[in-house]
């Protein structure tokens, strides 16, 4: 009985082995000749997506390739998603780090910087006195003609503390004093014209005049030996900030002060003329040119006949996001030398991002600030960043390309 059972078990094992070999043979045959075509059998079957005649190696390679592509795509999407999250996180961190707005540039800053009174320094632009120092750190640069065809620049700094040397420092004029008063700026200057100084006195407007605060200024020895004395005077961000911190002059604005300029990330006019190059011909002596740099997205500034406007502190050329050409009436004083400008209102142009539109501007009272509107009367919104203003007589040549 047990022998018969053993024999039966052996037969059963042999039968299972035969069936297994037969099944394996069928699988090998199926792989060698491709999958069975079940298209006619079931049109909705996924098998209809695979060609009956495709060799097994090609099918497997295609599937591997598809898997690799899906994997690569997934990795790319994961990297892109990670980059977006990182960018958003960085932007959020920056917004959290700089929750306030710099009134001169529209960019983020800390609360103490946002509430600062800006510092206004009178800078020398005569060719022999160049290069200036500190100009690349200025948030706003305002260039206006002087007597004899020369110009002078007022550089405005919302945060002067990190600026190195600033100069060379020159005197103020009435129109610069009016601009400083309107912006409630801390004016750094070396004296001034009679009406420029008397206006400050009339308004009881305290400044950091080199005549009354000589300890904040120094004269460069090389310039004293090689240039006229008026091309040698300097101050620094540290000296000015020290005077502010010690209470020599008020640090914050008077109650009720507000700055009317508005900014947006991209201030390029939607409509307007091409402005890849702008030229302000102040006189036969002084010309300022702005060339749009598509790589950096701003304007590189040049003086005279194409001389880069450089900062001696760092060797960098001055770049600005916004250019304002303000046209008005220029007149000569009774002395036949000094110049004056009507700062009531006028017309002009605004350029940003390689395009330009006509605008209107106004100021009026010395305590008022510059305001700008488009031709339709709506407020002008400028691009975030630095601004260069050219105040010119209507007759002074201005060109653009």
Q: What residue spans define the domains of the chain?
A: 111-400
Q: What is the mean pLDDT of residues 326-345?
A: 89
Q: Which of 14-23, 58-67, 129-138 has the lowest mean pLDDT?
A: 14-23
pLDDT above 50: residue 12: no
Task: Calculate the dihedral angle through the C-alpha atoms of 89, 90, 93, 97, rounding to the nearest 10 degrees.
Answer: -170
- Other CB atoms within a 10 A radius of the CB of residue 103 amount to 22
Whole-prediction pTM value? 0.77
Choice among 34-43, 180-189, 301-310, 384-393 with the minimum mean pLDDT: 34-43
User: What is the percentage of the chain residues whose pLDDT exceeds 90?
Assistant: 71
pLDDT tops 50 at residue 54: no
From 331, 301, 305, select the one nearest 395 (Cα to Cα): 331
Q: Are 46 and 38 in contact (CB under 8 A)?
A: no
Q: What is the pLDDT of residues 190-219, one digit of tens each?
A: 999 999 999 999 999 999 999 999 999 999
Q: What crossing angle do the helices spanning 194-202 and 174-183 adopt, rounded to 10°?
A: 30
Token output for 356: 């330009």
Summarised one tens digit per residue, pLDDT across range 363-400 is: 999 999 999 999 999 999 999 999 999 999 999 999 99
What tens digit of pLDDT does each residue of 86-97 get?
544 554 455 466
Determine contact, residues 235/186, Cβ cutoff 8 Å: no
- The residues near 221 (Cβ < 8 Å, ≥ 6 apart) are none
pLDDT of 376 reads: 95
pLDDT surpasses 90 at 285: yes
Cα dihedral value 266, 272, 276, 278, nearest 10: -110
The top-level CATH class assigned to 111-400 is: alpha beta
Sort strands 298-303 and 307-308 into parallel, antiparallel or unpaired: antiparallel
């Amino acid at each position: 009985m047990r022998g018969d059972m053993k024999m039966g078990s052996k037969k059963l094992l042999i039968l299972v082995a035969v069936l297994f070999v037969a099944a394996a043979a069928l699988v090998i045959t199926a792989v060698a000749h491709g999958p069975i075509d079940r298209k006619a059998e079931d049109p909705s079957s996924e098998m209809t997506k695979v060609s009956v005649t495709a060799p097994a190696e090609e099918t497997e390679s295609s599937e591997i390739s598809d898997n690799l592509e899906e994997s690569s795509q997934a990795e790319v999407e994961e990297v892109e998603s990670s980059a977006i999250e990182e960018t958003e996180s960085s932007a959020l961190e920056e917004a959290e780090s700089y929750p306030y707005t710099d009134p001169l540039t529209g960019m983020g800053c800390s609360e103490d910087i946002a509430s600062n009174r800006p510092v206004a320094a009178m800078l020398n632009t005569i060719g022999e006195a160049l290069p200036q120092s500190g100009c690349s750190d200025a948030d706003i640069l305002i260039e206006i003609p002087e007597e004899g065809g020369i110009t002078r620049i007022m550089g405005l700094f919302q945060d002067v503390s990190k600026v190195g040397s600033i100069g060379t420092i020159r005197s103020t004029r009435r129109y610069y004093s009016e601009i400083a008063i309107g912006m409630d700026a801390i004016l750094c200057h070396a004296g001034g014209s009679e009406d420029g100084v008397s206006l400050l006195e009339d308004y009881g407007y305290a400044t950091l005049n080199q005549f009354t605060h000589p300890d904040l200024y120094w004269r460069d020895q090389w310039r004293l030996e090689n240039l006229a004395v008026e091309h040698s005077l300097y101050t620094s961000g540290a000296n000015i900030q020290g005077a502010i911190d010690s209470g020599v002059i008020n640090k914050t604005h008077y109650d009720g002060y507000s700055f009317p300029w508005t900014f947006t990330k991209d201030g390029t006019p939607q409509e307007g003329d091409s402005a890849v190059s702008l030229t302000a011909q102040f006189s036969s002596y002084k010309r300022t040119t702005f060339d749009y740099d598509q790589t950096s997205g701003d304007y590189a500034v040049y003086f005279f006949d194409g001389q880069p406007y450089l900062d001696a502190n760092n060797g960098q050329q001055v770049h600005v996001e916004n250019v304002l050409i303000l046209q008005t009436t220029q007149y000569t004083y009774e002395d036949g030398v000094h110049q004056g400008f009507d700062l009531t209102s006028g017309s002009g142009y605004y350029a940003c991002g390689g395009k330009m539109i006509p605008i209107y501007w106004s100021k009026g009272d010395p305590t008022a600030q510059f305001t700008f509107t488009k031709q339709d009367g709506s407020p002008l919104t400028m691009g975030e960043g630095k601004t260069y203003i050219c105040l010119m007589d209507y007759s002074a040549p201005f060109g653009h390309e």
